Amino acid sequence: MFPIVLAAVSAVAFGTADFSGGKASRRADPVSVTVVSQLLSVPLLLALVLVVPGTPHTVDLVWGLFAGVAGAAGVVLLYRALAGGMMAVVAPVTAITAALVPIVAGLFTAHSPGTLPLCGAGLAVLAIALVSLGEGGISGAVSPRVVGMALCAGALFGVFFALLGQADEDAGMWPVLAVRVSSIGFGVALAARTGVSLRLGPRVLGWAAAAGLLDSAANALYLAAASRGHLSIVAAIAALYPASTVLLALAVDRERLRPAQIAGLGFAAGALVLASL
């Protein structure tokens, strides 16, 4: 029961972090928001490394470093999509794509994904088509560009989870710290190349801090749940994190969904569960 609770709390934290990052990115450049939010989460990660026992090997840190680059690129794209379209649509599309990456990879390897994940993949295609139906206007806009960014972000998150999953369980939180080191380095380099300032106003800084801290806390909760419970169950519960993003977008931003989009969100939840099995 305890691992299920941890996975559920991690899902809420992940979804709320995405909502916070999206709100910040509507007032500042997503690259700046990404870098600053991750910098602000470093003290929390250092504390977790000291509290959670672990002995990493070099290969564990290497996996974390590579995963960090993929994750940082995915976050930048996600924040751009959240800032430019409906959060209630972008979040599920991203999550579905992230879940589909290992399924697609399995089709090209000797390890078949299985019947249920393949059914989830088919359901995901229908879900993406339905939730992408917007009515126009700022609150209902779901342009092909926004959907494309959400799909790319999800693919990068799928790569992130695949790479991070190669780290040994005995490494503790060290691979996650390596993720943050490389993601911050990638973000700083991207900001320097594009000429983006890392200065954020007080109001934006609050949202960015919430995004970074909640994301790091969610990673820690998920790792704790996965190490104590059955991975398929834990992953299925954690994969429902877009629910909190959607609920916050509907409650705080008053986003409105068409009936077809609501049906698409239901299909998205089913697709995420099936894809995680």
3-state secondary structure of 109: coil
241-263 confidence digits (pLDDT tens): 777 888 888 888 887 767 776 77
Please give the Cα distance from 264 to 77 (Å, whole number).
22
Which of 24 and 223 is assigned the larger pLDDT?
24
149-163 confidence digits (pLDDT tens): 999 998 998 888 778
141 has a pLDDT exceeding 80: no
Q: How confident is the model at residue 113 (pLDDT cuts 50, 70, 90)?
A: low
- Residue 247: Cβ within 10 Å count: 15
Which of 172 and 26 is assigned the larger pLDDT?
26
Collect all residues with Cβ–Cβ distance below 8 Å to 105 and sequence separation of at least 6: 162
178-195 confidence digits (pLDDT tens): 999 999 999 999 999 999
- Are 228 and 54 in contact, with CB atoms under 8 Å apart? no
- Are 68 and 182 in contact, with CB atoms under 8 Å apart? yes
Collect all residues with Cβ–Cβ distance below 8 Å to 4 and sequence separation of at least 6: 225, 229, 233, 234, 237
30-72 confidence digits (pLDDT tens): 999 999 999 999 999 999 888 888 888 899 899 999 999 999 9
Tokens of 120: 């989830």
The arithmetic mean of pLDDT across residues 74-100, rounded, is 86
Q: How confident is the model at residue 123 (pLDDT cuts 50, 70, 90)?
A: confident
Tokens of 179: 């993720």
Q: What is the pLDDT of residue 138?
A: 38
Please give the Cα distance from 118 to 271 (Å, whole number).
9
Taking phi over 0 as left and psi of -120 to 50 as alpha, with beta for the rest, 169 belongs to: alpha
- Are 191 and 32 in contact, with CB atoms under 8 Å apart? yes
Q: How confident is the model at residue 136 (pLDDT cuts 50, 70, 90)?
A: very low
Please give the Cα distance from 93 to 149 (Å, whole number).
10
